[in-house]
Amino acid sequence: MTGKERQVAWPRLKVGVTREEAYGLLTMKRGICSEDLNSLLQPGKHYSATTASGERFTGTVEFVCAGRGFCLTVREMMDALLWLTIEGVPGNIEVQAWLSAFGLPGTSVDTFHKTWESRLKQLFV
């Protein structure tokens, strides 16, 4: 976006589970959202979900690769991109929530980082 500074938040956590188990924990009901995300994650389709911290996110599902992650736009954050990815090799897996936004107040990005880092720890530690 021309004239607006890009902000990034990237909470990530090494986990002691397989990719498939990590994906299941992220997408299950009361994982990162109050809903089971598996039925909502349809590429190119609109989604509406409530995060574990009570925020309402709506937008478009941009990309889904079961067992690896997914990418969503978040209308409430000025159409930011939110990637939930599972990276690494067996025995060295990392779960990441990567937010790329333009024009958000820095405090919003900091709050996102802290909130999502905390949620990842709740799910995996």
Asked whether residue 41 is domain-assigned, the answer is yes
**2 pLDDT exceeds 90?**
no
Its domain, for residue 106, covers 6-124
Asked whether residue 20 is domain-assigned, the answer is yes
**Per-residue pLDDT tens for 66-102?**
999 999 999 999 999 999 999 999 999 999 999 999 9
Count of structural domains within the chain: 1
Which CATH number fits the domain that encloses residue 28?
Answer: 3.30.530.20
At residue 4, the pLDDT reads: 81
**Per-residue pLDDT tens for 13-48?**
999 999 999 999 999 999 999 999 999 999 999 999
The pTM of this model reads: 0.92
E-state strands within 1-125: 6-9, 12-15, 46-50, 56-65, 69-74, 80-89, 92-102
Asked whether residue 102 is domain-assigned, the answer is yes
Helix (H) / strand (E) containing 5: none
Asked whether residue 82 is domain-assigned, the answer is yes
